Structure 1
Amino acid sequence: MSQQTALGPAGVSGRGDLAAYARLAKLDIYDYYLGLLVVWALLASAVRWKPQTLGLLALTLVAEVVVVAAMVGFDDVTGYRDGSDAANYGSDAARRRLARKPLVAGTLTEAQALRFSWAATVLGSALWAAVVALAPHRPVWAVVLAAVCVAASVQYSWGLKISYRGFQELFLIGLGVGWTLVPYGLLTGGASGFVIMQAVLFGSGPMLFGLYSNTNDADGDRAAGRITVATLVSAPAHRVFVAAMTGAQVVLVAGATVTGVAPWWFAVAMVPLVAMRLAQLVIGFRGDILRARRIAIHAHRVTVVLLVAADLTAGALS
């Protein structure tokens, strides 16, 4: 009996319908795409509503969605092959929605997932090339960073298998930083300290909720040979690491305000974020990792709302 038949629910064939492909692409996880809202709010009011600006942001959104579809598609194939997805999702399917892993659930075949991922890789690369070609500015750093983000995304769990080589946490924050700085740089030609600070703050959000996933998945990842901080250190040491990364967000906000990189009121505007981060730490330390992860996801989305509001306010006051 094949692995897919054994793991898939009774009576389900790998027919590959649109819903299964949507789950493979993880279209319900849109957190990286929210950075474009921050980019839009950071733009000068004279630029923000230009049709060319909105058009480029829309094209960038499509390019990001397609590249992420390739990334998570390859990730699912790798996780299916090494058994880590079956180990990490099969034991808690009710809370982690086994259907989100269509290979393990048996709603897609490995061949279908691979074809989808390669097609998304080609299309996503072409779309990013179009974004760069149509941009009003093309600073070298933004073009190079865009290429690095695309290449690293596709090889997150495939090719170089970045997430298996000990660079997962760095990738999770780096992609968010890159996908904030690149479109801003292509639209304006540069990036101030205030913009860079917000890119780092935004990028740290996916990294933080990824840390809670890694905590929950440590045993399965370790068995599959996936190197993360959670697989290398003890559970108490990883809790300290999570706390340190959470504290770094708070320090970033406070430091930007104290040094004048951000307006004096910026730290006050971010107080709701600090409260949510403290709540997720307490809940996570008490052992409810998946609930802490959900709070971390919501905290990231609240961060976006707060940054957009702060940027619009800063623009109105300038």
Structure 2
Amino acid sequence: MTSGTHVARPDTAVRPESKVRSYARLGKLDVYDYYLSFLVVLSALVLPVGALGAGTAVMLLVYLLGAVFTIVAMVAFDDLTGYRDGSDIRNYGPDAPTRKKLRKPLVAGTLTPREALWFGWTTAAVGGVLWVAAVALAPHRPMWTIITIAATFVISLQYSYGVKLSYHGFQEVFLVALGASLVVSPLGLATGAFSGFLLVQSVLFGLGPLMFGVYSNTNDVEGDRSVGRPTVASLVSPRGNAVFIGALSAAEYLIALVASATGIAPWWFAVLMLPAAALRARQFQLGFGKGDIMRARKLGFAVHRVTVVLLVVANLLAGLGIAV
């Protein structure tokens, strides 16, 4: 692993843009897929009609805003570390025409490292305050929920900065855990309860960001290897990576199938999730059958969003009592 002190010269050929837009790019505000957890949570609470009180709705909104600021801080720190160690320079450099350099403001030179650091800590502070406020507003405060929220906050900021967990082999696990936390934590605050069906949904939700993350890692394998960032793609052979991603793709639907078969989820849940499974198979075929990793990555966003819609439908059907 490199020392993390490398600083590359920004590309002055990139057109200038406003600071506001550059900060929005740094925070990846256009990638809203983690925030779709709010829809899954809301769908689990709205039925029967009147079950969701105004106070709980306000708490959920505060929690969501806290999640946005916390994740924005996380990705800002990730970009800062990637710029300093040179991996983003390599992955978004002139020899990588499929990547839009403006999406990396530090590489493009539209923000300085100092500005990125300030932005990261400011958004982290706001996110932390909002999550504390959500706990204070919550009708329930089970200890497991408070611990989960606190751990999610601390670990998110250490993902690529500070301890740099993603540089020690925990990237794939974290991506799933973060998504799962964004589902179970607000539900814990809202109901104080926990169920196997909601756990299944939280894991399926968390697998979505992982499944476009592993395709990104496949594309960025040389840059990650050059800085010692141990993603699965950088540690194994191309065939081994394909097997890994294929296994994840199959496991996603297998989770739904086992949940229905064991009674954790309604019998129809596995049937409902078939469209997402078909799209996931298409993603794998596009990435490793046709070798178009970046198109497969892009399809991954659509698969995740379809999965969210199906989870929302599942919660609404369950709320209507359609369980057998």
The normalised TM-score by structure 2 is 0.93
1:18 aligns to what SS in structure 2? Answer: helix
Contact 1:47 1:53 in 2 (8 A): no
CA shift, 1:37, in A, is 0.7
Query: Which residue in 2 is equivalent to 1:308?
Result: 312
Give yes or no for the alignment of 1:179 onto 2:172. no
Give yes or no for the alignment of 1:299 onto 2:293. no
Unpaired stretches in structure 1, ≥5 consecutive residues: none
Point out the structure with the larger helix share. Answer: 1
Q: Distance in 1 between matches of 2:44 and 2:91?
A: 39
CA shift, 1:97, in A, is 1.8
Q: 1:216 aligns with which of 216, 219, 237?
A: 219
Which structure 1 residue ranges, 4+ long, deviate > 4 Å from structure 2?
2-6, 91-94
Query: Which residue in 2 is equivalent to 1:143?
Result: 146
Q: 1:229 aligns with which of 218, 228, 232?
A: 232
Q: Distance in 2 between matches of 1:219 and 1:5?
A: 20
For 1:8, the aligned partner's letter is T
Q: Distance in 2 between matches of 1:127 and 1:258?
A: 39
Q: 2:33 aligns with which of 31, 34, 42?
A: 31
Say how many residue pairs are matched: 315
Unpaired stretches in structure 2, ≥5 consecutive residues: 1-5
Contact 1:41 1:312 in 2 (8 A): yes
Deviations 1:224-280 (A, max 9, x none): 111111111001100000001111101101001101111111111111101101100
Give yes or no for the alignment of 1:88 onto 2:91. yes
The normalised TM-score by structure 1 is 0.95
Q: 1:121 aligns with which of 105, 120, 124?
A: 124
Q: Distance in 2 between matches of 1:117 and 1:180?
A: 24
Q: Distance in 1 between matches of 2:95 and 2:207?
A: 26
Contact 1:280 1:292 in 2 (8 A): yes
Q: Distance in 2 between matches of 1:170 and 1:264?
A: 28
Contact 1:83 1:224 in 2 (8 A): yes
For 1:26, the aligned partner's letter is K
Contact 2:10 2:108 in 1 (8 A): no
For 2:166, the aligned partner's letter is S
Percent identity, aligned pairs only?
50
Q: Could you say what the CA RMSD is over the residues aligned between the two structures, in angstroms?
A: 1.7
Q: Distance in 2 between matches of 1:10 and 1:91?
A: 11
Q: Distance in 2 between matches of 1:294 and 1:30?
A: 14
Query: Which residue in 2 is equivalent to 1:7?
Result: 11
